[in-house]
Structure 1
């Protein structure tokens, strides 16, 4: 038993799992996993309910937009509030609001009161609350662990998200088939309740300084944008983030068309490709979480960019299905390497009083970029097929990657200067 405990302690303290040594982070991460899973019940449930009410593809798009747009618009404002006020208190309030909206939707669905217009209003309310949640959630991570475990914390956060993304949708299917969308919404509300309760049992052990409240909201937003566009290495990483979000991740939204037209596989091909992406993402995030030396971050970052670009080129160039599956797995793992290392650098570099605003812009880019890229590449695919647009996307991202790589010495120097200030 002593040997087992010693081995377990070694795994937790020396691997990606080392952030779990910290009680506050471990509680939040476990509750967050259930909450992320509940969100998938909500997403699939609202799609199914929309279809049942309208049998309209247009309404599916309208409800999706109603969910996304308020969050994208409000996220920067939420980031400013997260810098001004106590993030833990704000997290509790936002979780209560999201839980309440989802519980109302569940009750109304069970009662048979929901029509498409009520669903539209509730989707907008849910999206607005989710827009407030993202910057608070991201900004709180460095407040839950010491700086030396930040890489592990961010990697674990990404791993748990991807694990929920590929486990809970499969669980949602029988729930919807047996009990309907109302039960899916009720389970989502219950997951929010678990998260809310946990938030009352934690403290922020590494709180940031707060932004001045005297300045107006517009001035706060401008300050955050100025930091992102003017601070080395943050501006280079955000430039790369824009291209990876818009061009490198858009292929996921296009998989049904790619599976059918290039691989002749249909729905089963989509499922296999999505599973490969999830597997690669989990392996990638776990691998990157083992990084403990700050000087290694940029090296891993640029290596991951190179591997991701080459993998996307190979995926676009092949018509062999299983080779494409392997390329997607490697691509997703490399993308997690890019995302985790970049987020660690940004979170380590940004002033605490600006963290909420900076991470709100990070979240907005990650959320809106793939949809924008899918729209652009999908339009091109109508005219020239899927392969050439994806090859072009990989080439553009690679070109930007070369430019950002040329700035690596200035980026490393800025990181070392930030470290010296600690």
Structure 2
């Protein structure tokens, strides 16, 4: 056991930290439950209303709080105990999930109730994500931080494989209200990370300083850093493009399952199984990316990795309209999953390594705002376009727009790639 632990610590230095290991395991179990809910919820909503716009509306409600709260949240998180903040926010999300489970199991759930619970979940997440990302360096130290980020991504994407895979048999075995049981299991899964955090100690935590300046003054300090460090600013522009035109397309996977790949005579079980396969394929691609980054996250490859991740996701979007059978579509979705994680994990690492400790919460909150804060409007836009134009046309149009913006940055502003060499870490 000792030799195995030494071997793991050499390959995955973040796991040498007892505190990070406890946190990582608890978070993995919680993420599996979250992934199960993320798979079942759009399917339930689409079955209730049959409108692609409602899928976009739910995505809008989930991410809208980030638009308003991510920026001030980044300032506030720097002045509180991050571990205690995460515990509180995880409890809020757990209670919200139990309410959703009760509504689904009682058979009275409606679209507006899904939107409201999604809004509450998004509000807690707007603070929790920033606090969790800022806490990583407190558990591992700066040297092991890139590996900690990669392992976090691995946990998230392992859950995206296991979660959808568990959803299919639950729905098939449940004669009715199967989604409600999935939501209940997700609520229970929050206990893993909440309990784990009570046993975690932030070994590298800097003293929490009381807030003595107005929020806007502290936030302005973060924006001034971005103006001076244009390479990080360009990464945030890329994140905003992804948040508006690219990532929301994945919320339409139930439309791919039912409409784009639908066959005459399809039963509910067939559609549910196909939907789970699509989410599983996305998770397999994402997990492959996360694990490869965790195994090798040296600075010299980060620029190339960023380009490849962007290309895989955008070209996958453009390819969706031309696929009308299941297996080619699964390959496309898997490549998009790989591309999404590759680019997001790389951008996350670049930002966290570049930014000084005293600005990390603020700058990361700006990145989160660019990626997820603008996403509500992307969700509504893509939901409306899918309903009015069809998913095929929407994916093609948004893919071309993303290619033009992000491709232009990569061609005319190569400094966004050179930042990987500037950090000096391997």
SS in 1 for 2:27: helix
Instruction: Evaluate the alpha carbon distance shift between residue 385 and residue 184 of structure 1 in structure 2; reply closer, same or farther with a 3 A threshold.
Output: closer
Aligned to 1:281: 286
Corresponding residue number in structure 2 for 1:337 = 342
User: Retained in 2: the 8 A contact 1:79–1:360?
Assistant: yes
Which string of whole-angstrom CA distances, capped at 9 and with x for unpartnered residues, describes residues 141-188 of structure 1?
A: 222223333232222212212222343355464697689888666644
Q: 2:189 — aligned with what?
A: 191
Q: Does 1:246 align with 2:244?
A: yes
How far apart are the structure 2 equivalents of 1:384 and 1:403? 27
The counterpart of 2:384, out of the listed 356, 379, 382, is 379
Say whether the 8 Å CA contact 2:305–2:346 is kept in structure 1.
yes
Q: 1:387 and 1:358, CA in 2 relative to 1: closer, same or farther beyond 3 A?
A: same
Instruction: Considering Cα pairs closer than 8 Å and 6+ residues apart, tell me whether 1 or 2 has the greater RCO.
Output: 2
TM-score of the aligned structures, taking structure 1 as reference length = 0.79
C-alpha separation in 1, matches of 2:44 and 2:386: 30
| Counterpart check, 1:391 vs 2:389 | no
Quick check: 1:148 aligned with 2:143? yes
Per-residue CA shift, 1:319-340, capped at 9, x if unaligned? 4542232122122112211111
Other-structure match for 1:300: 305
Partner of 1:310: 315
Residue 213 of structure 1 corresponds to: 211
Distance of 2:315 and 2:366 partners within structure 1: 27
State whether residues 140 and 148 of structure 2, in contact with CA within 8 Å, keep that contact through their aligned partners in structure 1.
Answer: yes
Unaligned segments of structure 2, at least 5 residues: none
Q: For 1:407 and 1:43, how far apart are their aligned partners in 2?
A: 37
For the Cα contact (< 8 Å) 1:254–1:374, is it kept in 2?
no
Matched residue, 1:328: 333
8 A Cα contact 1:142 1:347, kept in partner: no
- Counterpart of 2:254 in structure 1 is 256
Selected match of 1:404 from 402, 409, 413: 409
Q: Name 1:77's counterpart in structure 2.
A: 72
Greater shift, 339-348 or 68-77, is seen at 68-77
Find 1:19's aligned residue among 14, 17, 21. 14
Give the CA deviation at 1:290: 2.2
Structure 2: distance between partners of 1:70 and 1:210: 25
1:358 to 337, 348, 363: 363
- Aligned residues, how many? 414
Deviation at 1:5, TM superposition (A): 6.6
Q: Bigger shift: 277-286 or 230-239? A: 230-239
Give the match for residue 224 of structure 1: 222
What is the Cα deviation at residue 365 of structure 1?
4.0
Taking only aligned residues, the RMSD between alpha carbons, in angstroms, comes to 4.1
Alignment of 1:36 with 2:31, yes or no, is yes
1:112–1:96 CA distance, 2 compared to 1 (3 A): same
> Among residues 157, 160, 174, which one is paired with 1:165 in the alignment?
160
* Separation of aligned partners in 1, 2:96 and 2:387: 39
Distance between the aligned counterparts of 1:48 and 1:276, measured in 2? Answer: 16
Contact 2:56 2:384 in 1 (8 A): no
CA distance in 2, matches of 1:211, 1:394: 44
CA 1:382 to 1:86, structure 2 compared with 1: closer, same or farther past 3 Å?
A: closer
Q: Match for 1:128 among 123, 126, 129?
A: 123
- Partners of 2:66 and 2:373 within 8 A in 1: no
Residue range with higher mean Cα deviation, 203-212 or 279-288: 203-212
Return the alpha-carbon distance in structure 1 between the equivalents of residues 88 and 108 of structure 2.
27
Contact 2:161 2:287 in 1 (8 A): no
Q: Distance in 2 between matches of 1:277 and 1:159?
A: 13
CA distance in 1, matches of 2:112, 2:383: 29
TM-score (norm 2): 0.79
Distance 1:186 1:46 in 2: 12
Contact 2:60–2:380, Cα closer than 8 Å, also in 1 = no
TM-fit CA distance, 1:24: 1.2
Evaluate the alpha carbon distance shift between residue 396 and residue 94 of structure 1 in structure 2; reply closer, same or farther with a 3 A threshold. Answer: same
TM-superposed CA distance for 1:297, in Å, is 1.2
